[in-house]
Every structure is written in structure tokens, then in C-alpha cells.
């Protein structure tokens, strides 16, 4: 069931449970009295460590990830000799900079955004695809040099 029908069914189910408090929330014993069901022993989970503040170069790093994703698609589409290098470069970037799960997710999301953006537009290699790839190579070089010179690495 999808759409409004599913939402209405869930609301109706909640209304029934709210109208009859014994339904599902209390357990009848053999003596006929209502008692709350005993709760199973739960282990207290430690909260995950707090996310460190974003690095000052995160915005540029996310943009570089998006550029690499775009190049991974465009260079492969146009059968460029360096097509296999772009996913490998992203993997190396993820290993170096993806220190927390959320940071890895952000980097992978940026890569996927760049890749998907062109995969929706291009089905065959065109002069425009080659031009876009050339511009991304130039932007990627500029970003990587700026990151390395400003923040070391």
C-alpha cells in the first residue's frame, strides 16, 4: 500500500490502539488482572563519539570529490586512457580523509553527485563531454594545488 492509503491505515491503527489502552500494551494474567508487561533488560548503549568540527578545507575537499566523480563518468564515457584512475583517486582520498563514518558519507555523496549529474545527461561521448572533462581536470588541479599549498599534504 502506497501513498495516502498507507498513511490512513497507519493513522487508523494508531487510533484503535489509543482508544483501547489494553490492546498491545498490557498483558492479561491468569487471575484476570491487568499488569504492564515486564521490560526486557536493555544494555545501555554508549553514544557514538561526537563528530569533530569540520576541517577548514572541507568545502574544497567536497568539491574535489564531486569533480572526481564527474571525471570518473566523463573519462570512462569517452574511453580516455586515464579513465580507471579517477575511481582509484577517490578511493585514496576516502582512505586519507574519511576518518569518521559521516565524513566518509559526505565525501562519497559528493562523488556520487558528480557522477550522477553527468550520467543523467550524457549517453555517448560528445565534444561537449570532452570540454566538460577538460574543465574539470583544470578545476581539480587548481583545487588540489590550493589544498596542498594552504593546508600541507
Residues 88-138: pLDDT tens digits?
999 999 998 888 888 999 999 999 999 999 999 999 999 999 999 999 999
* Contact by Cβ (8 Å): 62, 110: yes
**For residue 47, is pLDDT > 70?**
yes
Q: Confirm whether 10 is domain-assigned.
A: no
**Rounded Cα distance, 50 and 33, in Å:** 46
The answer to the question of residue 27 being in a domain is: no
User: Is 92 a domain residue?
Assistant: yes
Answer with the residue of higher pLDDT: 25 or 144. 144
Domain-embedded: residue 88: yes
Nearest to 98 by CA among 145, 144, 52: 52
DSSP 3: T
Instruction: Say yes or no to pLDDT of 66 above 80.
Output: yes
The domain tally of the chain equals 1
User: Is 48 a member of any domain?
Assistant: no
User: What's this model's pTM, rounded to 2 decimal places?
Assistant: 0.66
- Taking CA atoms, 3 is separated from 7, 9, 11, 13, 80, in Å, by 7, 10, 13, 16, 45
SS (H, E, C) 38-98: CCCCCCCCCCCCCCCCCCCCHHHHHHHHHHHHHHHHHHHHCCCCCCCHHHHHHHHHHHHHC
Cβ 136 vs Cβ 70: under 8 Å: yes
pLDDT at 37: 57
* Domain housing 121: 58-151
Distance CA 62, CA 141 (A): 14
Q: Could you tell me if residue 74 is inside a domain? A: yes
Average pLDDT rounded to a whole number, residues 24-44: 51
Residue 13, pLDDT above cutoff 70: no
- 54 pLDDT above the threshold of 70: yes
Do the domain assignments include residue 107? Answer: yes
Q: 3 versus 88: which is more confidently predicted?
A: 88
* C-alpha of 80 from chain center: 28
H or E stretch including 26?
A: strand 26-28
Amino acid at each position: 500500500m502506497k501513498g495516502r492509503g498507507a498513511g490512513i491505515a497507519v493513522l487508523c491503527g494508531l487510533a484503535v490502539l489509543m482508544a483501547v489502552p489494553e490492546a498491545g500494551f498490557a498483558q492479561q494474567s491468569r487471575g484476570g488482572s491487568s499488569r504492564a508487561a515486564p521490560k526486557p533488560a536493555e544494555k545501555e548503549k554508549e553514544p557514538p563519539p561526537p563528530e569533530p568540527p569540520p576541517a577548514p578545507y572541507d568545502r574544497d575537499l567536497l568539491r574535489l570529490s564531486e569533480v572526481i566523480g564527474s571525471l570518473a563518468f566523463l573519462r570512462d564515457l569517452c574511453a580516455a586512457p586515464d579513465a580507471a584512475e579517477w575511481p582509484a583517486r577517490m578511493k585514496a582520498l576516502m582512505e586519507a580523509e574519511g576518518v569518521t563514518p559521516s565524513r566518509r558519507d559526505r565525501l562519497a555523496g559528493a562523488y556520487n553527485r558528480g557522477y550522477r549529474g553527468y550520467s543523467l545527461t550524457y549517453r555517448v561521448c560528445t565534444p561537449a563531454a570532452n570540454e566538460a572533462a577538460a574543465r574539470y581536470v583544470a578545476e581539480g588541479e587548481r583545487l588540489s594545488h590550493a589544498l596542498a599549498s594552504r593546508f600541507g599534504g
